[in-house]
């Protein structure tokens, strides 16, 4: 006799909290079938056959997603759950505390349960990131999988199957077992590896070999909104191949059987940059190849995600060693996981020729200026920002400069530049962070199993390269409150941050692409394409005048706003006494603000420090 819903709730609600993940292999193989062919309505249909014994069973929908660093499982897009056994419907109840858990009772005589549900990809931008369009499908297995509680995810075997739209091709780190028409069967594997192996499929698809002739393939799997966006010249492919070679020279190891970049060029498919052990998800807007020179700054994405195969996936912080996808991740070392990856991603892009060294300097200048002006440093150290994926989950912020966000990425990059130049200085240029990368991430060549580390392990590895008080070095930068960003490494590299009245050509081009106007280091805010005021400096000129986000700039000194008009007004006011008058609309209120600012336009750039070694040039040089 099946239990009633009320009895189920009473009997099972407390059962889940007591379940610990066992290292005993889950009995049997879960058969997962995903139909991703309904691109007209953006609906994934899922069926699972889950071996089960009579008695209580809790099914989990993944909540803590590796690479997202927080509880970001798309439960709000999960719908239509039905469970049956031997053809008979089973009642289920959601856990009242952990809403990602579903409790049910498997009846006597049943050897498995059949599960059906839908994953509803967003159809509007305000619903989340689009994973299905008319031309591209992105399968993230955590969104289309329920799994049994009480078992380590590495001990649960799954045999995945996928139906793609008619005639489409796909890229994935998964190994194909068979394909019949548009139905693809993959080889069975453990749940952790499955969820770490997404798939991009497309109407327009191209696969580019990035390491020709190698025993371990590295492939760039490109999907796009049109066939024209797939076209890449040999000159464009060459630096991508060099990026792979430079990564191998840096890390001196490989920790995958093959590596697949999943790369979407689209204005409709959601943008993304997410790491996986044997692949990565990468999404950019149209024009990556078609407008090659215009979108140079985008080309850091692939080198960043490739670096993660070593840093973040093979070598992982100890707090990321969790038994399943519903156990909270510990993020205390994200300044290594993401911060050093941000550093190597930028360095590898320059070494490979994806981004010119002089433009890399411009990007570093922009990063240095941004973090040197973070007012929130007064109350919140960068170490605390590792909690931001949980606290804020990348939701928009009204006062980012004061609240802070995931600053462990780019401020972490500045810290690792500091460490690299310190090693070079102390060793007389004989050692560098390259040596740390080889010894720390390059161990156990050919191993695929994650190797976890602690803060003390990082310090020990740095000391093995160059003896120094690295614990104090790191802690002072991670826990300190300034003033200003950790720019010692920049000075030690032979460069200093300065501000001039004109942006560099490269940063001006990036500003034009974003259709915004940057006045952050003069007036203390930026202006978006529609005149929207944004990116305020806390206690900056605009802030002190009473301006805030959610407002639209209409006029400058009585004339309709244009970026060049505001720039001219700031220039004209330099050294004078007359304020800059802005007419601003916020809600239904029109108001004029007088900005008492007379120091002219200010844009960041790097300037050489005379008589010092140019270690930044040395860092960006390709490895031989």
Which of 362, 483, 355, 490 is CA-nearest to residue 417? 490
Least confident of 16-30, 338-352, 377-391, 542-556: 16-30
pTM: 0.95
How many angstroms separate the CA atoms of 419 and 437, rounded?
Answer: 12
pLDDT of residue 21: 86
CATH number for 505-601 (one of 3.30.1360.120, 2.10.109.10, 2.30.42.60, 3.20.20.70): it is 2.30.42.60
Residue 172: burial class (beta carbons within 10 Å; 0-12, 13-18, 19+): buried
How far, CA to CA in Å, does 82 sit from each of 13, 46, 77, 122, 472? 19, 11, 15, 22, 55
pLDDT of residue 2: 40
DSSP β-ladder status, 112-120 and 43-51: antiparallel
What string of DSSP letters covers 552-576?
A: EEEEETTEE--HHHHHHHHHHHTT-
pLDDT of residue 20: 76
Q: The tokens of 13 are what?
A: 């609600």
May I ask the CATH class of domain 335-492?
A: mainly alpha
Report residue 5's pLDDT band, with 50, 70 and 90 as the boundaries: very low
How many angstroms separate the CA atoms of 510 and 514, rounded?
Answer: 6
pLDDT tens for each residue of 69-122: 999 999 999 999 999 999 999 999 999 999 999 999 999 999 999 999 999 999
**Residue 165 scores a pLDDT above 90:** yes
**Residue 10 scores a pLDDT above 80:** no
Topology (CATH level 3) of domain 19-189:
Immunoglobulin-like (2.60.40)
pLDDT of residue 530: 92
The mean per-residue pLDDT over the stretch 321-337 comes to 97
Report residue 155's pLDDT band, with 50, 70 and 90 as the boundaries: very high
Q: Report how far Cα 111 is from the mean position of its chain's Cα atoms.
A: 40
Residue 258: burial class (beta carbons within 10 Å; 0-12, 13-18, 19+): middle
What string of DSSP letters covers 406-459?
A: STTTHHHHHHHHHHHHHHHHHTTTS--HHHHHHHHHSSSTT--S-EEE-HHHHH
The mean per-residue pLDDT over the stretch 176-183 comes to 98
**Residue 7 scores a pLDDT above 60:** no
Same fold, 335-492 and 505-601: no
3-class secondary structure, 180: strand
Contact residues for 342 (Cβ-Cβ < 8 A; gap 6+): 304, 409, 410, 412, 413
Contact residues for 160 (Cβ-Cβ < 8 A; gap 6+): 32, 34, 141, 174, 185, 186, 189, 194
Report residue 19's pLDDT band, with 50, 70 and 90 as the boundaries: low
pLDDT tens for each residue of 108-121: 999 999 999 999 99
How many angstroms separate the CA atoms of 402 and 379, rounded?
Answer: 9
pLDDT tens for each residue of 114-147: 999 999 999 998 999 999 999 999 999 999 999 9
Least confident of 250-254, 294-298, 350-354: 294-298
Can you give the length of the chain in residues? 624
Q: Could you tell me the residue ranges of all domains in the chain? A: 19-189, 335-492, 505-601
pLDDT of residue 8: 45
**Residue 381 scores a pLDDT above 60:** yes
Q: How many CA atoms lie within 13 A of 430 on its CB side?
A: 5
Residue 408: burial class (beta carbons within 10 Å; 0-12, 13-18, 19+): buried
Q: The tokens of 426 are what?
A: 């102390």
- Phi first, then psi, for residue 424 (nearest 5°) are -60, -45
Q: The tokens of 3 are what?
A: 């239990």
pLDDT of residue 238: 98
pLDDT of residue 192: 98
Work out the end-to-end distance of the chain between its first and last CA atoms, rounded to an integer number of angstroms: 72
pLDDT tens for each residue of 582-605: 999 999 999 999 999 999 999 999
Query: What percent of the chain has a predicted confidence (pLDDT) above 70?
Result: 97
Q: The tokens of 542 are what?
A: 């605009």
């Amino acid at each position: 006799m099946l239990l009633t819903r009320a009895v189920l709730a009473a009997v099972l609600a407390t059962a889940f909290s007591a379940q610990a993940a066992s290292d005993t292999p889950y009995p049997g193989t879960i058969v997962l079938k995903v139909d991703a062919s309904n691109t007209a309505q953006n609906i994934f249909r899922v069926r699972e056959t889950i071996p089960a014994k009579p008695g209580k069973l809790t099914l989990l929908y993944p909540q803590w997603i590796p690479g997202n660093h927080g509880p970001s499982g798309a439960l709000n897009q999960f719908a239509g759950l039905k469970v049956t056994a031997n053809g008979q419907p089973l009642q289920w109840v959601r856990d009242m505390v952990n809403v990602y858990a579903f409790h049910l009772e498997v009846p006597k005589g049943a050897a498995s349960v059949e599960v059906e549900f839908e994953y509803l990809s967003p159809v509007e931008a305000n619903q989340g990131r689009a994973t299905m369009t008319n031309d591209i499908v992105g399968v993230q297995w955590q969104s289309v999988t329920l799994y049994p509680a009480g078992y380590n995810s590495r001990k649960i075997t799954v045999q995945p199957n996928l139906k793609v739209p008619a005639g489409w091709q796909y890229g994935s780190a998964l190994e194909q077992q068979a394909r019949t028409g548009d139905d693809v069967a993959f080889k069975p594997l453990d749940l952790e590896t499955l969820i770490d192996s997404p798939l991009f499929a497309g109407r327009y698809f191209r696969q580019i070999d990035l390491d020709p002739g190698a025993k371990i393939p590295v492939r760039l799997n490109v999907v796009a909104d049109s066939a024209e966006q797939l076209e890449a010249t040999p000159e464009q492919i060459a630096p991508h191949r060099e990026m792979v070679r430079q990564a191998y020279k840096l890390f001196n190891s490989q920790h995958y059987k093959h590596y697949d970049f999943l790369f979407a060029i689209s204005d409709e498919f959601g943008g993304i940059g997410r790491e996986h052990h044997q692949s990565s998800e990468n999404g950019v807007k149209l024009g990556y190849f078609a407008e090659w020179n215009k979108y140079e700054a985008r080309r850091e994405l692939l080198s960043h995600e490739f670096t993660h195969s070593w840093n973040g996936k093979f070598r992982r912080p100890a707090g990321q060693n969790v038994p399943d996808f519903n156990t909270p991740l510990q993020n205390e070392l994200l300044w290594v996981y993401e911060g050093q990856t941000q550093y190597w991603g930028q360095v590898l892009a320059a070494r490979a020729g994806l981004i010119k060294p002089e433009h890399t300097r411009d990007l570093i200048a922009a990063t240095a200026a941004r973090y040197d002006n973070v007012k929130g440093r007064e109350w919140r150290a960068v170490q605390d920002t590792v909690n931001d994926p949980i606290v804020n989950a990348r939701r928009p912020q009204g006062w980012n400069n004061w609240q802070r966000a995931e600053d462990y990425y780019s401020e972490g990059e500045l810290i690792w530049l500091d460490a690299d130049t310190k090693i070079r200085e102390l060793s007389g240029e004989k050692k560098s962070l390259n040596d740390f990368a080889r010894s720390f991430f390059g161990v156990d060549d050919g191993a695929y199993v994650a190797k976890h580390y602690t803060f003390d392990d990082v310090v020990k590895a740095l000391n093995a390269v160059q003896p120094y008080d690295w614990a104090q070095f790191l802690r002072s930068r991670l826990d300190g409150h300034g003033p200003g960003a950790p720019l010692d490494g920049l000075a030690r590299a032979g460069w200093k941050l300065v501000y001039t009245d004109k942006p560099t050509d490269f940063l001006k081009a990036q500003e034009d692409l974003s259709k915004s106007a940057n006045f952050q280091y003069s007036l203390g805010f930026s202006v978006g394409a529609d005149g929207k005021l944004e990116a305020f400096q806390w206690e900056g000129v605009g802030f002190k005048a009473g301006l805030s986000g959610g407002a639209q700039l209409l006029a400058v000194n009585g004339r309709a706003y244009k970026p060049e008009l505001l720039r001219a007004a700031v220039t004209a006011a330099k050294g004078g006494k007359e304020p800059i008058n802005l007419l601003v609309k916020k809600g239904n209120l029109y108001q004029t603000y007088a900005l008492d600012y007379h120091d002219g336009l200010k844009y960041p750039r790097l300037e050489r420090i005379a008589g010092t070694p140019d270690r930044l040039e040395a860092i960006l040089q390709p490895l031989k």
